[in-house]
Amino acid sequence: METYPKESIKFVPNINTALTDRLKTLLEHPLIARLKLVSQLGLISLVYPTADHSRYDHIMGSYTYTAAYIRSLFDDPYNCLFRNLVDEKDVKAALLASMIHDLGQYPLAHDLQEVSGKIFDHTSLSIDLLSDKTKDKKKRTLKDIIQDPEEGWDVDPERLKRILGAHSGQLTLKGIDVSDFKADMLSALIDGPIDADKADYITRDSINCRIPYGKQLDIERLLMVLTTVRIPEALQTTHKVTIGVYEKGRASASAFSLARYLLYASVYWHHTSRIIKAMLQYGTVLVLPREVFYDSEKEIREIHEKLAYFVKGLTPPFEERQEARPRGRPAKPEKQIVEAEPPSSVLKTVIEAETSAGRGEEPVWYPGISVTDRLMLKWLKTLPTSDKGDRGVALIDMILQRQLYKRAYTIERIDSNNELLDALDELGWLQKITFCERLQKNIHQMIKYKKRELETRPLTGIDEVDRLFSNYLVILVDIPNPRKYAESGRPLIYLPELERKTYYHDGIMPIKEENLSDALECLMRTISPVRILCHPDILQWIRASINLKEMKEIVANTLEGMPK
């Protein structure tokens, strides 16, 4: 927290990070250091090749911005709520939470969480790893470092867990318990519309994708207008407090929402990113046991435990290898090769499981996929499979080779399509699988009906098309949810400047930003159309057989035949 520390390191633009002994100790622990191997944007590197930054980079940026936010709130000239409630250990716990909330991150985590939160939730995994027995070179667990009053952080892990619980929504806030209120307030530093976590990833993702949108964040101005705001009960949120801004800071706060929208439009929901995401998610649903989606505790627990074992296995150090040389010749240091290979235990687990599952030849590696993302995809192929598991494995193999599905049709979110798209939005994962299978059958029938008039065109042989339709899930429906972006437990709130050092007085009450939220929801609808995706080898057949109007009718008829 020092303004001019003895040692510092640079993780974010224009702000130094104090490199204290206790921070070094934490960063060197294997459970933290392994985040160097977890890519921040996962398979988006197939779209933006330079987006190879890691979760480790992000947690250190989040830590740096959290420290800056704390200094700003502590020095708030009008509102003394933060500095009256927060003590030194609270500050340490908040700084730890800014890193530990992503401790459980693993390759492709955010995409997989949308398939099954109970299995793939990284926040609950973060809390579990706090008690893990993995030790550093001084034989200390992460919990030892957090608790150690001499060389560590001197923080009670339970205090940290309360902050993480408030962040993830697992902590239920009742009454006006001060410890709960403080946990909620400190969690707002990394969970809100203008939090420190977003300050880092908006900037970092923009820089590494080589796009300009993160530059519009005016962090220096934002730090001058931050304040702590009690959320009015009329807003009916699960949280009691948030980090807001004084009214003169509207522009710097609004920039967060606008920059996030632009990142969704150009990166996170880029049409190719959405195709990869759809292939990954449908493939994962197909390889998981169906019982998972009926909340079977046994299957959920088994797979979650396997995931935790796999995640902990992605831990450095890696083995150092040297080139073989003839005897008698001196070693040449410049010829030394250090290869960042995954731990042998992880490779052994993946290889053995693939062998027992009888998988075919391993697909050729595509160089745009990071090592740990590749391992994660291979691990997914080892899961207990349903009767449709081979179809899921086929989708994952195509990702590994960057043989991506194609956009066949796009159904925009406009008024005339609302009824159809609202029905699609309501589908759960098993319903989506059933819907795609039935839609695929209907499309295949239409192609066979028009086969004679299409045979004169230079298309893939109809026998190959029939084989693909029979053996694979060749039709996927990508259904982005624009409301997900707008939903937040903490609204963006502006507070008029106070004339004296008190929290509220007559005529001065927090103002929720309504107009910007409504505008952004409309903008998100423009970048979240429903896309009908298909296997690349059947794209020409589908487009030659069915126009957009006919496809909408087929989708509507397929929906009508779905079981309620």
pLDDT digits (tens, 9 = 90+) for 491-509: 888 887 664 445 555 555 6
**pLDDT at residue 325, as a whole number:** 43
Residue 59 lies in a domain: yes
Task: Please say which residue of 206, 233, 268 terminates a domain.
Answer: 268
Q: State whether 263 and 278 are in the same domain.
A: no
Contact 20, 26 (CB under 8 A): no
What are the pLDDT digits (tens) for 135-185? 999 999 999 999 999 888 999 998 888 888 776 555 554 544 566 888 899
Query: What confidence score (pLDDT) does residue 318 get?
Result: 45
- Say yes or no: 26 and 113 in one domain: yes
Confidence at residue 385, expressed as pLDDT on a 0 to 100 scale: 64
pLDDT for residue 333: 42
* CA atoms of 292 and 298, how far apart (whole Å): 9
SS3 517: helix
Q: What is the pLDDT of residues 356-410, one digit of tens each?
A: 444 555 666 677 899 899 999 999 998 866 677 889 999 999 999 999 999 999 9
Q: Is the residue at 94 inside a domain?
A: yes
If asked whether residues 136 and 217 sit together in one domain, one would say yes
Structurally, the chain folds into a number of domains equal to 3
**Mean pLDDT value across residues 417-440:** 94
225-229, 423-427, 477-481, 508-512, range with the lowest pLDDT: 508-512
Which of 69-78, 172-181, 377-386, 530-539 is the least confident region? 172-181
4 and 18 Cβ atoms separated by less than 8 Å: no
The answer to whether residue 513 is domain-embedded is no
Residues 374 and 445 in one domain: no
**Quick one: pLDDT at residue 319?**
44
pLDDT in tens, 321-350: 444 444 555 444 443 333 344 555 555 555
Residues 139 and 118 in one domain: yes
Domain co-membership, 458 together with 362:
no
Is residue 64 in some structural domain? yes
| 279 in the same domain as 264 | no
Contact indicator for 287, 303 with CB cutoff of 8 Å: no
Choose the final residue of a domain: 234, 253, 268. Answer: 268
Domain span holding position 67:
9-268
Q: Are residues 255 and 178 in the same domain?
A: yes
Q: Are residues 183 and 69 in the same domain?
A: yes
Q: Assess whether pLDDT exceeds 90 at residue 32.
A: yes
The reply to whether 134 and 256 lie within a common domain is yes
Residue 143 lies in a domain: yes
**For residues 246 and 497, is the Cβ–Cβ distance under 8 A?**
yes
Considering 370, 400, 430, which residue would you say is the last residue of a domain?
A: 400
Tokens representing 252?
């710097």
The values of phi and psi at residue 9, to 5°, are -140, 155
Q: How crowded is the C-beta side of 99, counted as CA atoms within 13 Å?
A: 25
- Does 488 fall in a domain? no
pLDDT one-digit tens code per residue, 259-306: 999 999 999 999 999 999 999 999 999 999 989 999 889 999 999 999
366 with 474, same domain: the answer is: no
Asked, for residue 279, whether it belongs to a domain, the answer is yes
- 154 and 148 in contact (C-beta within 8 Å)? yes
**Which region, left, alpha or beta, applies to residue 108 given φ > 0 means left and ψ of -120 to 50 means alpha?**
left
- Can you tell me the mean pLDDT for 16-33? 91
Return d(Cα 246, Cα 237) in angstroms, integer: 21
Residue 177 covered by a domain: yes
CATH of the domain at 109: 1.10.3210.10
Buried b (16+ CB within 10 A) or exposed e, 86-121: beeebbbbbbbbbbbbbbbbbbbbebbeebbeebbb
Residues 152, 282 share a domain:
no
